[in-house]
Amino acid sequence: MTGKYSDTRNLTMLADFYEFVMANGLLAQDRGKTVTYFDMFFRGLPDGGGFAITAGLEQLIESLQNLRFTKPDIEYLRNKGFHPDFIEYLTDFEFCCDIWAVPEGTPVFPGEPLVTVRGPAVQAQFIESIILLCINHQTLIATKANRIVRAAQGREVYEFGTRRAHGADAALFGARAAYIGGCTGTSCTPAELRFGIPAAATMTHSWVQMFDNEKEAFIAFAEEYPDNCSLLVDTYDTLKSGIPNALEVFRDYVAAKGFRPKAIRIDSGDLAYLSRKARRMLDEAGFSDCEIVASNSLDEYIIRDMVSQGAKVDTFLVGERLITSASSPVFGGVYKLSAVETEGKIKPCIKLSDNVTKITIPCFKKLWRLFDRDSGKAIADLLTLADEEIDENEAYELFDPDYTWKRKTVTNFIARPLQKKIFDKGKPVYDSPDVHQIREYCAEQIDSLWEEVLRFENPHNYYVDLSQKLWDEKKSLTDSITGR
């Protein structure tokens, strides 16, 4: 099963219960059919990084295509005491929202609408949970994976966290997100079945322990897989036992049959030191083409240190710290009302707060990315009103929306809208690329960012600016509410 939008599960009821309470109340107050605009965005970056990588859109499309309330769903909600008009509405439910979204694999920044929904309030409000569920999880894992891949500096990284994932869906879709972020493959078998992501395997310690001795275990494995022989060498003693036994088996049971050994794996100890020693031993035995694989609770910082210490590792297998994004396990995406439409006129809405980071950006908006025409590097992102256009032939003045005296005029640039139309009146109109195309696109987009944005520590603050018209709308609305 590899086709797009192939998940036929009905996840309609997978929503916070207050979504039903809100929908019921909106209909009862005759506001359920009011056209509203919602933005899904995030405020902070995982691990203090410079950017995130959006993912999960294909699964969101699958979920929204299958929105329907079954008879048991209806009966459950009726027994919860909801209004008969609401029950009737759900019985005849037909999804009719317009949705725009940033394509998967795109680097994104705080405050930017990753998903924008236009539709009747009762529907636009109701789909909040599934939007956040799909986008938050995969964006988190894709972002973490990309950090780890960049730390490896060209060495392969495989996602190996299936057994540590927070459930079956987290394993499957986490593997997908990790692949988008740059991983070479996964240990998750259904990820290859469904998405075509290369699945890989290595020997386990239990294989070695089930035989009378290590060498016997290696011989048995080599006899079964002479053309793909990877041996785990740290079950007892990596340098005194594991590698010497592996070298002997490679010589007598792999090379002797006309094959070349695939790899050794080290899963414990000082991986940088052991890999250097192992590389020398392999080379001296005539197996310079045999790769060294490292695993054991790795993350981007450990891998970066290993690389800087001259580790001779060809491939990193990364498990729980990737599939759970253990160092920063929550992606704080939120879903907020930005405008209400009445008789064809859009009225902006804003949320104010004593915490200034929680003040929202009102209006129906368009998200742009400006690229330098010569270098291809991203200059800044820009939020404008939805009907604004940017003339690439004219100089454009950017300014910091918080410190408005900080201004920069850009010329010789390309302006690209980032969001694509995903649903039109409830019908999907976007052909999602396959996961391999998304992965390639992601790598290209990462390459458009300056090195300063890619730093792990204290990355450059990439600017997300507002157009003058949008800034004016926000200030006018804020002033009208606060009485200034």
The C-alpha atoms of residue 120 and residue 482 are separated, in whole angstroms, by: 28
| β partners of residue 397 | 409
Q: Which letter, b or e, does each residue of 187-216 get, where b requires 16 or more Cβ atoms within 10 Å of its Cβ?
A: bbebbbebbebebbebbeeebbeeeeebbe
- 177-207 per-position pLDDT tens digit: 999 999 999 999 999 999 999 999 989 999 9
| Mean pLDDT across 115-139 | 97
Give the pLDDT of residue 166: 96
This prediction has a pTM of: 0.96
| Mean pLDDT across 54-67 | 96
| Mean pLDDT across 434-441 | 98
Residue 3 pLDDT grade (very low, low, confident, very high; cuts 50, 70, 90): very low
Please, what are the domains in the chain? 17-141+329-357+419-460 (3.20.140.10), 202-314 (3.20.20.70)
Give the pLDDT of residue 48: 96
Give the pLDDT of residue 4: 59
Give the pLDDT of residue 107: 98
Give the pLDDT of residue 357: 87
pLDDT of residue 444 exceeding 70, the answer is yes
| Mean pLDDT across 216-241 | 97
pLDDT of residue 127 exceeding 80, the answer is yes
Q: Which letter, b or e, does each residue of 331-368 get, where b requires 16 or more Cβ atoms within 10 Å of its Cβ?
A: bebebbbbbbeeeeebebbbeeeeeeeeebbbbbbbbb
- The total of other beta-carbon atoms located within 10 Å of residue 406's CB is 12
Q: Locate tokens 């002033």: which residue?
A: 479
Q: Which of 313, 236, 229 is nearest to 278 (CA)?
A: 313
The C-alpha atoms of residue 249 and residue 247 are separated, in whole angstroms, by: 5
Give the pLDDT of residue 32: 86
pLDDT of residue 41 exceeding 70, the answer is yes
Residue 9 pLDDT grade (very low, low, confident, very high; cuts 50, 70, 90): confident
The C-alpha atoms of residue 211 and residue 200 are separated, in whole angstroms, by: 23
Residue 7 pLDDT grade (very low, low, confident, very high; cuts 50, 70, 90): low
| Mean pLDDT across 97-104 | 98
pLDDT of residue 124 exceeding 70, the answer is yes
pLDDT of residue 352 exceeding 80, the answer is yes
| Mean pLDDT across 21-49 | 95
Give the pLDDT of residue 5: 52
- Bigger pLDDT: 3 or 263? 263
Give the pLDDT of residue 2: 41
CA angle 10, 16, 21 (to 5 degrees): 105
- 378-400 per-position pLDDT tens digit: 999 999 999 999 999 999 999 99
Look up residue 37 and give its two tokens. 């605009």
Give the pLDDT of residue 348: 97
> Mean pLDDT over all residues of the chain?
96
